[in-house]
A = this chain, B = another copy of it.
Amino acid sequence: MRTVSPETAILLFSCPDARGIVAEVSSFIFSCGGNILESSQHNEPETNTFFMRVAWDLSEFTIAPEEISEAFRPIAQEFRMDYQVELASSRHRLCVFVSKQQHCLYDLLLRNMEGEIRCDIAVIIGNHPDARSVAEFFGVPFYHVPVAKADKAGAEQRQLEILQEHEVDLVVLARYMQILSGEFVARYPNRIINIHHSFLPAFVGARPYHQAYERGVKIIGATSHYATAELDQGPIIEQDVVRISHRDHVRDLVRKGRNLEKLVLSKAVQLHLEHRVLVFQNKTIVFE
């Protein structure tokens, strides 16, 4: 992947396929003084849908960054595009949800510190208090929001308030062991990234490492996906696997899986932050 300079615009869109889209888009950028840095496209033949991601240098662009979206609207309307214009310099604000296990949380904080994941980790919410000290060490506000079975709605209400207060636009479930309600998920469509510790669609639901051990598979996996109302059924962003053997007991799967979970979740978050992911019919187009 390429790093992006602060003065880069990114256009993402999908539309019915048609002749001349690439020509029209690239002419728009060129005629306003932009220099294309990256460009990817994809065509889904069943639905005849066209997808594109194009990034260009704004250093000599004649349209102000905040007006690009409006300036592009006529082309978007002509081709009936569903589109978004993003600036690479604008930083996402993340909230990490966590329970007791902290390896994914640490991993995100460290990659953020090293500049690998470019965003502001604005706030951490835990249904257990365990992550407080690491949050403090990295200087991130931490909220302990216990989730009582009897008052799940109340807990979600509190979580939503925190998200709003901290102006969060991406929620990352870093081995958060609670199921979010459909209402909650609907508030952040394609903006909640979960890590499931199996190679989906195998071993949906609880205790996937136990399920994998029972079935006697020779490879285990981890899956990062956007959360949807249906558990573990959302659009898959990234997956990875590791080989195991009959010698590996459940605790070994847990240990080997931790590496996978960190790699897969951080990769998915990075792809999202770089505006490389488009969701279409419960699948993702990932422009790497």
B45–A41 touching, CB < 8 Å: no
Stretch touching chain B among A63-71, A149-157, A240-248: A240-248
| Contact among B19, B35, B283 for A19, CB-based, below 8 A | B35
Residues 229-263 of chain A: 1 if any B CB is under 8 Å from the residue's CB, otherwise 0? 00000011111110001111101100100110001
Q: Among the listed stretches A87-95, A160-168, A172-180, A198-206, which one makes contact with chain B, having 4 or more residues with CB under 8 Å of it?
A: A198-206
Q: How many identical chains are in the complex? A: 4
Closest 3 CB pairs of A and B: A216-B283, A23-B30, A23-B26
Most buried by B among A21, A202, A251: A202
B252-A236 in contact (CB<8A):
no
Q: Give the number of residues in A that approach B within 8 Å (Cβ atoms).
A: 67
A184: Cβ under 8 A from any B Cβ:
no
- The answer to whether B221 touches A219 (Cβ under 8 A) is yes
With a cutoff of 8 Å between Cβ atoms, the chain B residues found around residue A216 in the complex are: 235-236, 282-284
Interface centre among A22, A203, A236, A241 (most CB of B within 10 A): A22
Q: What residues of chain A have their CB less than 8 Å away from a CB belonging to chain B? A: 1-3, 19-24, 26-27, 29-31, 33-43, 45, 103, 106, 110, 114, 116, 137, 199-203, 215-219, 221, 235-241, 245-249, 251-252, 255, 258-259, 263, 282-286, 288
| A219 neighbours in B (Cβ, 8 Å) | 199, 221, 239-241
**For residue A282, which residues in chain B have a CB less than 8 angstroms away from its CB?**
216
Contact in complex: B202, A218 (CB < 8 Å): no
Starting from the known contacts A23-B31, A216-B284, 12 additional A-B residue pairs (CB-CB under 8 Å) come to A2-B252, A19-B35, A23-B26, A26-B27, A40-B40, A116-B258, A199-B199, A202-B202, A216-B236, A218-B236, A219-B239, A259-B263
Are A246 and B42 in contact, with the CB atoms below 8 A?
yes
| Shortest Cβ distance from residue A9 to the other chain B in the assembled complex, whole angstroms | 15
A39 with B37: CB separation less than 8 A: no
Chain B residue with minimal CB distance to A24?
A: B30
Across the interface, name the chain B residue whose C-beta is closest to A27. B23
Are A246 and B37 interface neighbours, CB within 8 A?
no
20 A-B residue pairings within 8 Å (CB atoms): A20-B30, A22-B22, A22-B39, A23-B26, A23-B27, A23-B30, A23-B31, A103-B114, A106-B106, A137-B137, A199-B202, A201-B202, A215-B283, A216-B236, A218-B236, A219-B221, A219-B239, A219-B241, A245-B288, A259-B263
